[in-house]
Amino acid sequence: MDFKKYYPLIPMFIISVILLAVRLAAPELSQIVSLALFYVALGEAFNIFTGLTLYVCFGYVAFVALGMYGSGLALKYILATSNPPLVTTILFSFAVAGFFAFILALVVGSIGLRLRGAFFAIATVGLSEGLKNFIEGTGIWGGSSGLIIAGDLISSYGHETYVFVSTELADYLMFAVYVLSLLVMFLITKSRFGYGLTALKEDEDVANVMGVNTVRYKLMTFVISAALAGMIGATKMLKDLVIYPPQAFAISYTVEAIVITMLGGLGTVTGPVIGGLVYSILKYMLTVSFPGLQLLILAPVLIAVCVLFPYGIVGWVKRRFRGTLIDYLLV
């Protein structure tokens, strides 16, 4: 009887299947799909925290970067000490990546989430920059020389596997992380937890009076979102097989995550999917068609979208078709 609740999964399922089908059927598009998957997953993971609580973490990229470092270190370590099957290696690196991001989120969240709204946002401005400079300054984890594991992978598993991991496996893992974050987001919104978060988003004080443990809920969402970001980082590491602090902690990831969620619709499950697809395809198309001028075109397009769709594409559609089937199916 409660099947209806899961109907909105249908459009998401269709989108995912299409993405997968394109990836399988058209190898020449595989890297575009992988690019899109990265942005979609990033947007969705970001959305879990920001969309559900309206708190913004400006240092969000730190979790992606820590995921990259976690998985990179794990790979480096495991490949140097033993030579287990590829699956074990990768699972281990994922676990470490998630754990790194989880711990950071726990520390930052339990201290920082006492701050309300804008203050939390600005408190986290320095998070990614500070961490980056710490890694560069102390020289840990390779410092500015970076952490490079391409060679380790080649010498342990051979050239074929290296190519496979970077150009195939990483993409499917990114797909898995994307599906995971989509499902997490969806299940949260339909659960008791989700109701509590919506209440918190609308009026934090009243939610508290009504029995919602607001501090814990915020922290839980933050940690979940961060752990997913860590896994995105781990996948990214498998794809790039190299990490340098300036690239890993690029502030543009945070901003792009914000752009994607805002483009799609903040707080909606499908928003980041649409936003991520639109953003990545737009960016890619412009790059291919207007080499060197693409940003000059992308920026005005973004500005126009801000002015025309302040609530995002999904938000706009939902407002436009309130109460219809479309509104119901797009969550």
Partner 1 sequence: MAQTKALAITILVAVVFAALGYLAGQMTAPRTGATVTVTSYATVTSYVTVSRTVTPTTSPVAVPEKITIGLTLGLSGAYSYASTQGLRGIQIAVKWINEVYGGINLGGKKVKIELKYYDDQSNKELVPSLYEQLIKVDKVDFLLGPYGSPLVFVAAPVAEKYGKLMINWMGTSDVIHEQGYKMIVMVSTHSGSQMKPAMEMVKSLDPNAKVAIIYKEDEHNRLLAQGAREAAKQLGLQVVFDKSYPVDIKDFTPIFTEMATYKPDVIVICPHEADGILAATQLAELNINAKLMIMGFVPSLASFKRALGNLAEGWAGTNQWSVGASYTPDDAKALGYEWFGPTEEEVLNLYKQIAPPEDFPSEHTGAGAAAVLILAKAIEKAQSLDPQVVRNTLNTMKVMTFYGPFQIDPTTGKQIAHKEILSQWQQGKFVPIWPPEIALSKPVYPIPTWDEKRQGKQAVPS
Partner 2 sequence: MSEELLKLQEISKSFGGIRALKNVSLTISIGERLAIIGPNGAGKTTLFNVINGVYKPDTGRVFFANVDVTDLPAFKRTRMGMARAFQIPRPFPTMSVLDNVMVSALFAGKFKSVGEARERADEVLELVGLANKKHELAVNLTSPEKKLLELARALAPKPKLLLLDEIVAGIPPAEVDRIMLLVRNVSEKENIAVVALVEHVMRVLKYVERVIFLHEGRVLMDDKPEKVLSSETVKNIYLGRIYD
Partner 3 sequence: MADPGYLAFYIATGLLLGTFYGLATVGLSFTFGILKILNSGHGSFIMIGAYVSYWSFVILGLPPLVSALLAFLIGFMLGLGLYYGIVSRILGGPELISLVLMFAMGILLQEFAKFVWTPTIRGFTWDLGRVSLFGYAYPTTRIVGGVVSAVIALGLYIFLYRTKVGRAIRSVVESAEGATLCGVNVNRIYAISLAIALGLTIASGGLATLYVSGGIEPYMGDPYTTRAFAIAVLGGLTSPFGAFIAGLLFGVIENLSYVLLSLTNVANPFSMTRFIAFAMILVVLLVRPQGIMRR
- Part of the chain binding partner 3 (CB under 8 A), chosen from 72-80, 88-96, 131-139, 200-208: 131-139
Q: Which tokens sit at 11?
A: 């459009």
Question: Are the beta carbons of 43 and 264 closer than 8 angstroms?
Answer: yes
Contact between 76 and partner 1 per CB under 8 A: no
| DSSP codes joined into one string, 266-288 | TT-SSHHHHHHHHHHHHHHHHHH
Contacts of 31 (CB under 8 A, 6+ apart): 167
Query: Per DSSP, what are the bridge partners of residue 242?
Result: 148
- Considering the complex, what minimum distance in angstroms separates the CB of residue 13 from partner 3? 28
Q: Residue 205 binds which one of partner 1, partner 2, partner 3, none, with CB within 5 to 8 A depending on kind? A: partner 2
Q: Which tokens sit at 62?
A: 């730190």
∠ at Cα 160 (156, 166), nearest 5°?
85
Residue 47 or 181: which CB sits closer to partner 3?
Answer: 47
Q: What is the SS3 assignment for 201?
A: helix
Contact between 83 and partner 1 per CB under 8 A: no
Per the listing, tokens 């590491």 go with: 237
Question: Are the beta carbons of 69 and 100 closer than 8 angstroms?
Answer: yes
- Part of the chain binding partner 1 (CB under 8 A), chosen from 223-231, 237-245, 271-279, 320-328: 237-245
Q: What is the contact mask toward partner 1 in residues 5 to 44, using x (rule: CB under 8 A)?
A: xx--x---x--x---x---x--xx-xxx-xx--x------
Q: Residue 22 binds which one of partner 1, partner 2, partner 3, none, with CB within 5 to 8 A depending on kind? A: none
Contact between 107 and partner 3 per CB under 8 A: no
Contacts of 145 (CB under 8 A, 6+ apart): none
Per the listing, tokens 């051979």 go with: 158
Alpha-carbon distance 220 to 134, whole Å? 27
Contacts with partner 2 by CB under 8 A lie at 2, 190-192, 195-196, 198-199, 202-203, 205-214
E-only strand ranges, the chain? 147-148, 242-243
Residue 248's alpha-carbon distances to 63, 113, 156, 232, 239, in angstroms, are 10, 24, 25, 12, 13
Q: What is the contact mask toward partner 3 in residues 141 to 170, using x (rule: CB under 8 A)?
A: --xx--------------------------
Residue 245 or 315: which CB sits closer to partner 1?
Answer: 245
Q: What is the contact mask toward partner 1 in residues 127 to 146, using x (rule: CB under 8 A)?
A: ------x--x------xxxx
Binding footprint of partner 3, residue count (CB under 8 A): 42
Alpha-carbon distance 306 to 242, whole Å? 35
Contact between 237 and partner 1 per CB under 8 A: no
**DSSP state, 147?**
E
Contacts of 113 (CB under 8 A, 6+ apart): 55, 120, 215, 218, 219, 222
Contact between 255 and partner 1 per CB under 8 A: no
- Part of the chain binding partner 3 (CB under 8 A), chosen from 66-74, 87-95, 252-260, 319-327: 252-260
> Angle 312-320/271-289 helices, nearest 10 degrees?
120
- Sites of contact with partner 1 (CB under 8 A): 2-3, 5-6, 9, 13, 16, 20, 24, 27-28, 30-32, 34-35, 38, 86, 133, 136, 143-146, 148, 150-151, 154-155, 158-164, 166-169, 172, 175-176, 179, 183, 187, 239-242, 244, 246-247, 250, 252, 283-284, 287-288, 291-292, 294-295
Give residues in contact with partner 3 (CB under 8 A). 50, 56, 58, 111-112, 115, 118-119, 122-123, 125-127, 129-130, 133-134, 136-139, 143-144, 251, 255, 258-259, 262-263, 266, 293, 295-296, 298-300, 302-303, 306-307, 310-311
